[in-house]
């Protein structure tokens, strides 16, 4: 039997406007509960919403970045449903005329580029936030109520959790590049819902769609999709089917749990928001926004390959994040060796950031400091292994590499006179290793070099040591 997984995504992204979508309250994360509120965003009777122009502008920015058609005439609608954190009993959103229509995002797979099409991008307001206590109570915070959102809806064109992950990473990188959202999933500014089902390609049997919610990281989203994929396949094998439902991901149990049956679109009883006039958008404004967009990830990747002569893989990694790409280019200004800088950033720097779940802007040192470290290694003042130790100290303390090297006495020993004395002593203590090397056992050479590095506490120049050991053995 052969099975095909079908995945579609709905991504809610909070916009970095100064104020909320329909009132003048600050659009800032956190704060004491229920202090970023006014009569409009908590839905008091008699209040009227006023549309945030910057929210519309950011929605258009996203639409252009993702190759959408931008509506020149659109409207807001009321989406009716009951939920404790939805104070008005309805959400101001968009139904039949979204701000952005169509569009696509390209992802890179081993077999080539795949274009994942978008169905729409529309603007709306966020709801409040419920916090469930250990005592079984629910506390409501309306600071988030009315925060501007865009909802990005894909076509169901992804066929593996890995494709969905690549899509989400490309989407997040682009949104951060154009500076419409900080995309901090831990703060709820980017939230992802997954629609997934499986089809038996031989019989045509298909499971009903499961919607997955409460996915607070890309890692959780992938694990939830992998779990659901297996669950749906198992049901098809047993001749059973799913029900159309909403499920949540349980991080502790590593499984999805049913929350409720999923409603139909008609259950929302959409109708036009009569308190907000029709939105008319001039083509000139759209073009002005288009011209204001910064260099996007794909374009930057192409430029890095040409301008810095980087392999495609390196350029792809360095441009996944706007902040990483800026850090790379700033480092290059001080150390004109693009491949060497790329290796250090892609290797030790990004690895450490990933291990500690940090962003590059959280570093305690700057591009000039990394450049100074690379120069110390390149000029032979410290060896590569010492460089890695210095970088670790830079992560921990933020000190300049030259300061660390000076304080810890790490300058590489390249003086042949000093090294000759050390090597001579090691050779005299390891006559058998000399015999072994002359008999063709190359490991013996490595042993002598290793003993020399140990004796100098790793400070000897390994290239010079290697050559001197060979020459001194051959002279015997």
CATH code for the domain in which residue 420 is found: 1.10.10.410
User: Is 220 among the domain residues?
Assistant: yes
Residues 177 and 138 in one domain: yes
pLDDT of residue 259: 85
User: Is 223 among the domain residues?
Assistant: yes
Residues 112 and 161 in one domain: yes
Residues 212 and 274 in one domain: yes
Q: What is the pLDDT of residues 291-350, one digit of tens each?
A: 999 999 999 999 999 999 999 999 999 998 899 999 999 999 998 899 999 999 999 999
Strands 112-125 and 104-109, sheet pairing: antiparallel
Query: Measuring CA to CA, which residue among 215, 216, 171 is closest to residue 195?
Result: 215
**Both structure tokens of 449:** 């070099």
Residues 349 and 237 in one domain: no
Residues 7 and 61 in one domain: yes
pLDDT of residue 375: 92
pLDDT of residue 452: 80
Residues 386 and 438 in one domain: no
Residues 432 and 320 in one domain: no
Distance CA 147, CA 37 (A): 10
421 exposed, middle or buried (CB, 10 Å; 0-12, 13-18, 19+)? Answer: exposed
Instruction: Say how many residues make up the chain.
Output: 476
- pLDDT category at 415 given cuts 50, 70, 90 is low
Encode 249-281: b = buried (16+ Cβ within 10 Å), e = exposed.
beeeeeebeeeeebeeeeebebeebeebeebeb
Distance in Å from the first CA to the final CA of the chain: 71
Query: Measuring CA to CA, which residue among 426, 425, 410 is closest to residue 458?
Result: 410
**Both structure tokens of 421:** 């004395």
- Choosing from 358, 373, 408, the residue where a domain stops is 408
Residues 113 and 164 in one domain: yes
Residues 268 and 168 in one domain: yes
Q: What is the pLDDT of residues 230-280, one digit of tens each?
A: 999 999 988 887 788 899 998 889 889 888 776 666 678 899 999 999 999
Cα distances (Å, whole numbers) of residue 139 to 22, 33, 76, 83, 129? 24, 10, 29, 13, 8
User: Is 271 among the domain residues?
Assistant: yes
Owner of token pair 């995002």: 105
Q: What is the pLDDT of residues 121-177, one digit of tens each?
A: 999 999 998 888 888 888 999 999 999 999 999 999 999 999 999 999 999 999 999
Residues 259 and 374 in one domain: no
pLDDT average, residue stretch 175-185: 93
Residues 402 and 420 in one domain: no
As a whole-number percent, the residues of the chain with pLDDT over 70 amount to 97
User: Is 290 among the domain residues?
Assistant: no
User: Is 337 among the domain residues?
Assistant: yes
Least confident of 8-12, 149-153, 281-285, 317-321: 317-321
Enumerate residues 6+ apart whose C-beta is below 8 A from 123.
21, 55, 56, 59, 76, 93, 94, 99, 148, 149, 150
User: Is 289 among the domain residues?
Assistant: no
pTM for the whole thing? Answer: 0.81
Distance CA 47, CA 23 (A): 10
Residues 348 and 460 in one domain: no
Average pLDDT, the chain: 90
Q: What is the DSSP string of 121-190?
A: EEEEE---EEEE-TTS-EEEE-TTTT-EEEEEEE-S-B-SHHHHHHHHHHHHHHHHHTTS----GGGTSE
User: Is 175 among the domain residues?
Assistant: yes
Query: Measuring CA to CA, which residue among 390, 392, 393, 401 is closest to residue 335?
Result: 401
- Choosing from 284, 309, 331, the residue where a domain stops is 284
Domain count, the chain: 3
User: Is 369 among the domain residues?
Assistant: yes
Alpha helix (H) ranges present in 151-307? Answer: 161-177, 218-237, 283-292, 297-307
Which domain covers residue 451, as residue numbers?
416-474
- Is the pLDDT confidence value at 54 over 90? yes
């Amino acid at each position: 039997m052969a099975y095909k997984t079908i995945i579609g995504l709905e991504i809610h992204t909070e916009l970095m406007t100064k104020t909320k979508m329909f009132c003048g309250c600050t659009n800032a994360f956190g704060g004491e509960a229920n202090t970023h509120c006014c009569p409009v965003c908590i839905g008091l009777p008699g209040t009227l919403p006023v549309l945030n122009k910057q929210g519309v502008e950011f929605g258009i920015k996203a639409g252009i970045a993702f190759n959408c058609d931008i509506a020149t005439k659109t409207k807001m609608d009321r989406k009716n449903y009951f939920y404790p954190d939805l104070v008005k009993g309805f959400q101001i959103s968009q139904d039949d005329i979204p701000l952005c229509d169509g569009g696509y995002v390209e992802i890179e797979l081993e077999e080539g580029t795949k274009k994942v099409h978008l169905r729409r991008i529309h603007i709306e307001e966020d709801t409040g936030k419920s916090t469930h206590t250990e005592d079984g109570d629910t506390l409501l915070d309306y600071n988030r109520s009315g925060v501007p959102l865009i909802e990005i809806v894909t076509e169901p064109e992804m066929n593996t959790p890995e494709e969905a992950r690549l899509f989400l990473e490309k989407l997040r990188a682009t949104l951060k590049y154009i500076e419409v959202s900080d995309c901090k999933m831990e703060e709820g500014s980017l939230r992802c819902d997954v629609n997934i089902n499986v089809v038996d390609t031989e019989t045509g049997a298909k499971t009903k769609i499961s919607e997955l919610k409460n996915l607070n990281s890309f890692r959780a989203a992938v694990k939830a999709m992998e779990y659901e994929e297996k669950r749906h396949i198992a049901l098809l094998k047993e001749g059973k089917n799913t029900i159309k439902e909403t499920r949540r991901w349980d991080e502790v149990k590593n499984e999805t749990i049913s929350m409720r049956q999923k409603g139909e679109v008609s259950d929302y009883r959409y109708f036009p928001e009569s308190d907000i006039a029709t939105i008319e958008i001039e083509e000139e404004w759209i073009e002005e926004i288009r011209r204001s967009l910064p260099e996007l990830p794909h374009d930057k990747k192409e430029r890095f390959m040409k301008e810095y002569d980087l392999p495609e893989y390196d350029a792809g990694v360095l441009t996944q994040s706007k902040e990483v790409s800026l850090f790379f280019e700033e480092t290059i200004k001080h150390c004109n060796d693009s491949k060497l800088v790329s290796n250090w950033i892609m290797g030790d720097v990004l690895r450490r950031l990933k291990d500690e779940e940090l962003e590059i802007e959280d570093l305690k040192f700057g591009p000039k400091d990394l450049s100074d470290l690379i120069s110390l290694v390149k000029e032979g003042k410290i060896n590569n292994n010492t460089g890695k130790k210095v970088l670790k100290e830079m992560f921990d303390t933020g000190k300049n590499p030259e300061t660390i090297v000076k304080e810890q006495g790490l300058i590489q020993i390249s003086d042949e006179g000093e090294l000759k004395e050390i090597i001579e002593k090691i050779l005299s203590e390891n006559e058998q290793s000399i015999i072994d090397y002359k008999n063709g056992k190359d490991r013996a050479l490595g042993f002598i070099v290793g003993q020399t590095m140990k004796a100098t506490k790793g400070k000897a120049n390994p290239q010079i040591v290697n050559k001197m050991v060979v020459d001194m053995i051959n002279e015997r």
